[in-house]
Amino acid sequence: MQEAAEKYIPNIKIPQNICNTFKPKPYWSPDLSRAVAERRLVLANLRSCPTPRNLEILKEKISVAQRLIRGAKRKSFQQFCSSVDETSSASEMWRKMRWLKGRQVSNSSVDKEKAERLLSDLTPDFVCPLQPTFHSSNPALESLILMPELVNCIKNTDTAPGSDQISFSMIKYLPPSGKRMLLLIYNQCFSFGFVPSQWRHIKLIAIPKQSVNSSSAYVLSHLYLASVKFFMLS
């Protein structure tokens, strides 16, 4: 979490004395300050006395202020472009390019030890993952499993059994009492939101096969053998 914060959250330096460090835009002038001040006064007048005439005056002042600011920006940018010529040094060009792209050098104002101490107070170093639970808002999925649904999940052909050596044919030919017991276990798994740990054991077998690439003699193909009961539950 700390590495992600340091990578994606930029460090900023909060100014302590804004009055002394504030620098207006290069194009700003007393005429623009006067136009903005008049716009604010007219807006305050409209809020205290909302009349159609005051609204028209506000629209006029807004239009005048926007026109003056756009003109000043245009003139300042033209002067900036004119200042770039063959006599400009490399450092000056890089500075102008950073200004043009709006990139500023990041200033770190946070002590790393304080940041680590704050992070350790906010969250522990390790949290045990929560046990997964089943949640659903579909009534058809929340209902209990029926015997016909269990029978339909049993495959007619056997596949390689898991570590419990139980195949589909063994479940298929269970007596009715055995199928009812298996159905009861499945419904308890859905009701309480758990799967027996024995069903989650998967056996991995590496099978060597002839390699198509001439650089190696053979490759390993992996065969996963899981419990049939887990396949039926999923």
Virtual torsion, Cα 12, 17, 18, 19, nearest 10 deg: -160
What is the Cα–Cα distance from 85 to 143, expressed in whole angstroms? 78
Lowest mean pLDDT among 42-56, 124-138, 180-194: 124-138
Lowest mean pLDDT among 100-104, 125-129, 135-139, 170-174: 100-104
**Residue 20 has what pLDDT?**
65
pLDDT, tens digit, 9 for 90 and up, residues 17-46: 666 667 788 889 999 999 999 999 999 999
In a 10 Å sphere around its CB, with 0-12 CB exposed, 13-18 middle and 19+ buried, how is residue 162 labelled? buried
pLDDT, tens digit, 9 for 90 and up, residues 188-222: 887 787 777 777 777 766 667 766 665 555 666 66
Q: Please check the confidence at residue 176 and state whether its pLDDT lies above 70.
A: yes
**Residue 71 has what pLDDT?**
94
The pTM is what? 0.36
How far is C-alpha 106 from the geometric centre of its chain's CA atoms?
24
In a 10 Å sphere around its CB, with 0-12 CB exposed, 13-18 middle and 19+ buried, how is residue 170 labelled? middle
With beta carbons less than 8 A apart as the criterion, state whether 195 and 151 touch: no
* pLDDT average, residue stretch 63-87: 88
21-25, 86-90, 145-149, 168-172: which is most confident: 145-149
What is the Cα–Cα distance from 192 to 132, expressed in whole angstroms? 11
* pLDDT average, residue stretch 79-105: 76
* Number of residues in the chain: 234
The amino acid occupying position 74 is R
Residue 51's pLDDT band (cuts 50, 70, 90): very high
What is the Cα–Cα distance from 93 to 96, expressed in whole angstroms? 5
Q: Which residues contact 190 (CB under 8 A, 6 or more apart)?
A: 134, 144, 145
With beta carbons less than 8 A apart as the criterion, state whether 65 and 39 touch: yes
The full DSSP string for the chain is -HHHHHHHS------S-HHHH----TT--HHHHHHHHHHHHHHHHHHHS--HHHHHHHHHHHHHHHHHHHHHHHHHHHHHHHT-STT--HHHHHHHHHHHHT-------S-HHHHHHHHHHHS-S--PPPPP------HHHHSPPPHHHHHHHS-SS-----TT---HHHHHT--HHHHHHHHHHHHHHHHHT---GGGG--EEEEEEEE-SSTTSSEEEEEEEE--HHHHHH-
